[in-house]
Amino acid sequence: MSNREEYDRDWLVYSKKVDRVYCFGCKLFTKGQQKGQLAKEGCNDWTHINNRLKNYETSVDHVLNMTNWYELRSRLEKHQTIVKAAQRQLEKEKDHWRKVLFRIVCIVKFLVKHNLAFRGSNSKLYEDSNGNFLGLVEMLAEFDPVI
């Protein structure tokens, strides 16, 4: 600050390479046209930086972007992101199909071990003359919720 008081702006990021400061939240969350200079090309006007930062941090776009950033950071710390939920759903689905595949392989092994034909004259589930394989799948489905 101009009076030598320190004020922590955790949203402000400095790039050594281009010698400019940027707004972290706005850089990440601004959609479409970027209004603020700190979001797009940064700022290196060191003599007027204090006034620019004061004006910038009270702008509507900056406040909305920072709210989005703080909300995302909070969800990341609690492991409650959409990605995490999608990952859990994907794992459940993979596990389900792994179990289905295991049961189908067991049926195939049974038919091979007993030298039985796989198909009949019909290749649709729950219809007559659909063969040993589909018949065993139907029978297993009556007792096993996975199938």
Which pLDDT does position 101 carry in this prediction? 95
Q: Which of 121, 144, 119 is nearest to 134 (CA)?
A: 119
How confident is the model over 111-139, as pLDDT tens digits? Answer: 999 998 888 888 888 888 888 899 899 99
How far apart (Å, rounded) are the C-alpha atoms in residues 115 and 111? 6
The partner residues of 22 in beta bridges, in order of sequence, read 13
**Whole-model pTM above 0.85?**
no
C-alpha gyration radius of the chain: 31
Q: Where are the domains of the chain?
A: 12-77, 85-143
With beta carbons less than 8 A apart as the criterion, state whether 133 and 106 touch. no
Residue 142 φ then ψ, to 5°: -70, -30
How confident is the model over 47-103, as pLDDT tens digits? Answer: 777 777 777 777 778 888 888 888 877 877 777 777 777 888 899 999 999 999 999
- From the CB of residue 54, how many other CB atoms can be counted at a distance below 10 Å? 11
How confident is the model over 83-95, as pLDDT tens digits? Answer: 777 888 899 999 9
